[in-house]
Amino acid sequence: MSDGRSVAWGWVFAWGLFVAYAAALAPPDDPALTRALVKGSMSGDFGGVDHAIAAVFSMLGVVPVLASTFVLRDGADRKLPAWPFALGMFVVGAFALLPWLALRDLAGPRAEPRAPGRVRKLLARRWFAWGIVVALSALGAWGIATGSASAYAHAFRTTSMVNVMSIDLVVCAALLFVLVERQRARGVSPGESPLARASRFIPLLGPALWNALTAGLREG
């Protein structure tokens, strides 16, 4: 088995473990909390939901935007279209990103890379990249400053939504580092600043910082 196929099957195995955990081992669901989080994400008013929980839930709306910046560019020279997986991340997070990592290499390269579309060009803008950094930083600060660690820990132990979304955020943070390394392999690294090179190791926020600091080194 080639190294590429071995890596792909590794991603499939990781995806299977994640699905099995969410289906069989996560705590019971709390429909009221789920409704409050969804309603709050649309209205900005999370009501009685602890702010730490609301912040993590909101981060999972920003992380797919950051991941899409990498996935759409990474998929420009692959036969497999990247946009369904990028869209899927807005609904199921890492459950959509892991299959992309598994299938991208198996699909093989395109003869001619896809030209940058409007969405990909927007995501590549420096100001947009810094907007992602600000959004993640603000949500993290809000959750830490006004949320309750004990309330979050209790919800993690007792509710499926908080349990799975927390693990999802951790998995996404790890996969964002993988996506950054793929971008660096495309030839960005010679122009990196020392700050950009070091920032990528910061969990979650690091890939966003790297994306902003290197935006001018990458085409759309």
pLDDT digits (tens), the chain, 220 positions: 456 677 788 888 899 998 999 888 889 998 999 899 989 988 888 888 999 999 999 999 999 999 999 999 888 888 888 999 999 999 999 999 999 988 887 877 776 777 778 888 898 899 999 999 999 999 999 999 999 999 999 999 999 999 999 999 999 999 999 999 988 887 765 678 889 889 999 999 999 999 999 886 665 5
Assess contact for 165 and 38: CB atoms under 8 A: no
Residue 17's contacts (CB-CB under 8 Å, 6 or more residues apart) are none
Assess contact for 210 and 199: CB atoms under 8 A: yes
In angstroms, the CA 97 to CA 214 distance is 22
Strands annotated E in the chain: none
DSSP string over 153-185: HHHHHH-HHHHHHHHHHHHHHHHHHHHHHHHII
Kindly report the pTM of this predicted structure.
0.90
Residue 219: per-residue pLDDT: 54
C-alpha distance across the termini of the chain, in Å: 35
Two structure tokens written together for 9: 């099957």
In angstroms, the CA 135 to CA 186 distance is 27
Give 97's Cβ-side CA count (13 Å radius).
Answer: 31
